[in-house]
Structure formats: structure tokens, C-alpha cells
Structure 1
Amino acid sequence: MTVSTQTTVTVLGLGAMGRSLAAAFVAAGHPTTVWNRSPGKDADLVARGATSAATVEEAVRASTLVVACLFDHGSVHEVLDSVGEWPADHALVNLTSTEPAGARELAEWAAGLGIPYLDGGIMATPAMIGRPGSALLYSGSSAVFQTYRETLEILGTAEYFGSDAGRASVVDFALLSGMYVMFAGYYHGAAMVRDIGMSAEEFSNRAASWLAAVLPSLPAAGAQIDTGDYSEVLQPLTFTKAALDAIVSASRDAGVDLDIIGPVRDLVDRQIAAGHGAQSSERAFESLNPRPRTAA
């Protein structure tokens, strides 16, 4: 069974993301209750039709689907530990950015109180919620996911990663790590071209086009990493080292610190030092995760 158009929804936490989540539920016609620790953030939502709750307990009791979008793992406890007996059949979906261990701890805490629990990661900015490109990753209670999937898909595409409540968080943070490192690489490049008078904005246009052109190669790199066989070489580690050494030299000449590019070079250097210089550059992955592989 799925619950859709008449699902009552509560959103706890009205930061930029929480307000966007609540606005999407209101716009879709769901009776929506909102609550925030500090007052004054719900006026616009109430004007659109949401109901403001005076207390957390009132907010939790108002809806069968309770969505928490708070600051961190600790704030989830700070808010929800104050709730008395949790209403029967009211589900908790935690969309707070919570590390995997925190998600699993919250799942155990919820199980001890009889609270159906689903953890989630939001792969979107607040402005993207409810629009194409917004994606949310979930793990934890399959029953909660299946029951409320149609409602949750108002926010963005919904994908379920299994009963381990920490799995969605792992994928979420892994994807975010790729994003942050990509932006950090852009910052490094922008710092380099500043030395020749190029603006960061001009460089960003060039970087966006270049990255879009090379990103389609990621699936092939992933397939090679999964096999652990780096003998089929597109670009050997020795070539990549030469390129990175040149970038390091050019960075120094431009007065740019090596906080970003230096560790990348170190990953490659470790593999070459271990005798793998002729193998494919994707082998640098093994410097990050050198654990023995298990048979499929």
C-alpha cells in the first residue's frame, strides 16, 4: 500500500532546505505542519497553507509522516528526545546530513522506541527540491519507504539502498566528496590563472566545459577499479606523474599552495614507488583503499 495525496506531513527544522521541503509538500496538497526551534521562519509557509506547531510534540502528533531536517546528528536527539510517547504508526524520515554511524545509531534509538525509521540523503540544493535533477537516497525501513514513496517523490527521485540505515549516508557523502574535491580542483586552477590576469569567472567557463567533456569517462574507470586489473592502460601512472609534477612546478611558480594538488600527486607516487608505474592511472585508487579484495 502507498499513501499519497492525503498524507499528513510534519517538517521539523526550517533552515533553507527544511523550508524547501515543506513548501514542496504544501504545493502538492499535503496537510503540512511545520516546527522550528527559533521562531519566525514559518510565516511564508503558513501563508501558503501550512500549520505552525508550538512544540515538537505537537508537530510529531500532527502527522503520520514526520520529516526531520535539522543541523546534525546531535540536533536530532536534542529535538526528538523531548518527545514523550511516539504516536503509533507515525514514521520518522531523517533528512538531516548524518554520518553513517549516526544514521545507524538513530535507527537503533528509533527501534527501541517503536518508531518506524528511514534515513535519507538529499542530492540537491534547496532550489532544486521538487524539480528535475533533485534526487534523494534512502535506507532503513523498507515498509516506511514503500508506504510513503509516492509522497517522498514529491521532493525528487527516490532510491532505496536497503535496510542498513547507514547505506544511503555512505553513498550521499561519497558523492559529495566527489563534488567538493572537484570544486577544490577548480579553486586551485583559478588560483593558478590569477597569476596571468585571468578572472575566476572566465576560468570557470573553461573549467565547466572541460569537466563536462571528461566526466563521461568515469564509468570506464569504475569498471577497471572493480576488476582490480590495471594492465589495460589508457594513461600510465608514469605519464600522470609527469603531468602532476609539472602542475606542481607551475603552481609553485604562480605562488599557489599545494594543499589540493599535492596529495593527488602523493597517491600516484605511492603506486609508482610500489612498482606499478606502467599500469593504468586508475590504480591510484589502490592508494586510498588498499584492503584485500574478496571474490565476487
Structure 2
Amino acid sequence: MMHTGTPVTVLGLGLMGGALAGAFLRAGHPTTVWNRTTAKADDLVARGAELAASPAAAIASAPLVVVCMSDYDAVADVLGGPLDGRVVVNLTSGTPSRARALAQEVAHRGGGYLDGGIMAVPEAVGTTDAVLVYSGPRPLYDAHESTLGTLGTGLYLGDDAGLSATHEMATLVLIWGMLDGFLNGAAILGTAGVSATAYLPLAQTAIGTVAGWLPGYARQADNGVYPADDGTIDTHLTAMAQVIQESESLGVNAELPRLVKSLAERAAAAGHGASGYVALVERFREP
């Protein structure tokens, strides 16, 4: 394999870390790898990667160090020595506060820091379908944007190192909400003998419809104005009560619609019964 790109080090070779290293190799970047369990590097070494004997040796071998480990404690452990001008790109999931603290620690050790999040499965890494978000000093991102583009479509979020983790958490809540709603709906339909597979066309249509509402809903959430263009919260409350009643009569878990109804009831009690659904954002903003 011809190595013509920027040298890169990858620390952590789990499913995602291995996919990151593989993408760099395919793109022709000289790639050094390290993992506590060295056997996980065997396939990458066979494809041209260099296996470092220690994290310090791996860090010393490249100006760009990509880290993807189980948690921030593990990241802090492998970055325990001098960094001497290296740029660390941490693609480990964690909290915004830990990201900001790690950015300060990396700076103290003489390195630059970008925090990031991978919005993709390992199989998509290295394609445009993989979306990766980054936050930290803009000059660091600009300097390595081309190399990081090897991993997928990059989105720069801002100078605050905690922004990537914040976006990842917001997106996880969104994903869980969609998945829980689909599974709850599948459970209701299952009582009528309808399979989850048969439900797919209508579910996908509904998700696409809601996606089309988001630009307008986002503007309402930002502006704090909630017109009832497609129904009031009071109208939704009636439908929510019906879903709860039917779920209970069918013997299906009603916790999710009860939670949604409780939020809507609080919005109505706060004077938003005649407002549009986006007024619920004020309940989510409460501590």
C-alpha cells in the first residue's frame, strides 16, 4: 500500500476504533495503532499499519492522534505523558464537562485538542454516509479537515470543546424518542396481529412527515412563539388520553404516552393549551 497522506495515530481498536484506522489506511495515510489487547491490531498490521509498543510511542509517531476508547478515564490514562505539539482528536463518547476538562489537560501537556462524535455505525466509517462532528479551536480543525474527511462527512460546531458531546446527547435523545415511539406503536399493532414489518411503510411515512415539520418547529422554538398551525396542545391531550386508555385495555405498556401526556398537561397548565405542540419545549427547558 502506498502511504502518501498525513501520518496518523489511532489509540483504541474496538469496533469503531478499528474502523477509523482502516479508513485511514485505505486512504493512504501512514497509520500507527495501539490497543491494550494487541491482537486487535493483527488485521490492521496485515494491511499496513504499524503497531506501537505503548501509547507514548504511538503518540510520538504522528502529528495527528485520534482516540476512540471506552470512556474519558481511559483516554486521560493513555494521554498521560507529554504531547509536544500533537493534535488530539477525541472521538470517545462523554459529557461536555469532561471534554472541556480534557481540552485543558491536553493544552497543559503541550497539545491541541478537538472533541468529536461519530454519528454512524462502524461499517459506514470512511464513506460520506458517516457524519462526524467536531468542536474546539477552528485553526486546528481547518489544519486537519482534509485528513479527518477520510473518516466521513465532517461538521464543525464551534470553539467550545463541549459542543460535540452536547450535540451527541441531544441526538441520542432524538433517536431514542423515535425508536421508543416505533416500538410502542409496534406493540399496540401487535395486539391486532399486525407485524412490525407490516407497520414499516406507515411508520417511515410518519417519520418523514415529522422531519418536514422540523424547520418550522425549530424557528418557533428559537423565537418562543407557538402558533397552533396543526392543532392545539388541548387537542393533542384528547388524543393522548385515548392512546393511554386503549393501551391499558389491550394490556400494552402505557408509560410512554402517560409521560408525554404529563408534559402536555403541564404545558396547558402554564397557559399553553391553545398553543401549538412546540410550546412543550418550555417544559423540557425546566430543571
Alignment partner, residue 243 of structure 2:
247
Shift of 1:112: 1.3
How big is each residue's C-alpha offset from its partner over 1:68-105, in whole Å with a ceiling of 9 and x where there is no partner? 00011122123222xx322x221111000121111001
Matched residue type, 1:250: E
How big is each residue's C-alpha offset from its partner over 1:208-230, in whole Å with a ceiling of 9 and x where there is no partner? 23212331111111111111112
Task: State the identity as a percent.
Answer: 40
Could you tell me which of 128, 131, 138 is aligned with 1:135? 131
Q: Secondary structure in 2 aligned to 1:138? A: strand
Alignment partner, residue 38 of structure 1:
37
In the alignment, structure 1 residue 144 sits paired with structure 2 residue 143: no
Matched residue type, 2:38: P
Q: Return the alpha-carbon distance in structure 1 between the equivalents of residues 125 and 139 of structure 2.
A: 24
Shift of 1:13: 0.8
Alignment partner, residue 108 of structure 2:
112
Higher helix share: 2
Q: Does the CA contact (< 8 Å) of 1:186 and 1:204 recur in 2?
A: no
Q: Return the alpha-carbon distance in structure 1 between the equivalents of residues 6 and 159 of structure 2.
A: 23
Q: Return the alpha-carbon distance in structure 1 between the equivalents of residues 82 and 163 of structure 2.
A: 28
Matched residue type, 1:17: M
Matched residue type, 2:182: Y
Q: Does the CA contact (< 8 Å) of 2:4 and 2:30 recur in 1?
A: no
In the alignment, structure 1 residue 224 sits paired with structure 2 residue 220: yes
Alignment partner, residue 10 of structure 1:
9
Q: Return the alpha-carbon distance in structure 2 between the equivalents of residues 246 and 232 of structure 1.
A: 21
Q: Secondary structure in 2 aligned to 1:211? A: helix
What is the alpha-carbon root mean square deviation over aligned residues? 1.7
Could you tell me which of 223, 229, 234 is aligned with 1:233? 229
Q: Does the CA contact (< 8 Å) of 1:118 and 1:145 recur in 2?
A: yes
Q: Which 5+ residue runs of structure 2 have no aligned equivalent?
A: none
Q: Does the CA contact (< 8 Å) of 2:32 and 2:61 recur in 1?
A: yes
1:56-205 equivalence runs, <5 A: 56-81=55-80, 84-86=81-83, 88-205=84-201
Shift of 1:256: 2.0
User: Please, what TM-score do these two structures have when normalized by structure 2?
Assistant: 0.94
Q: Which 5+ residue runs of structure 1 have no aligned equivalent?
A: 292-296
Q: Return the alpha-carbon distance in structure 2 between the equivalents of residues 93 and 254 of structure 1.
A: 50
Q: Does the CA contact (< 8 Å) of 2:34 and 2:51 recur in 1?
A: yes
Q: How many residues align?
A: 285
Shift of 1:272: 1.1
Shift of 1:134: 1.4
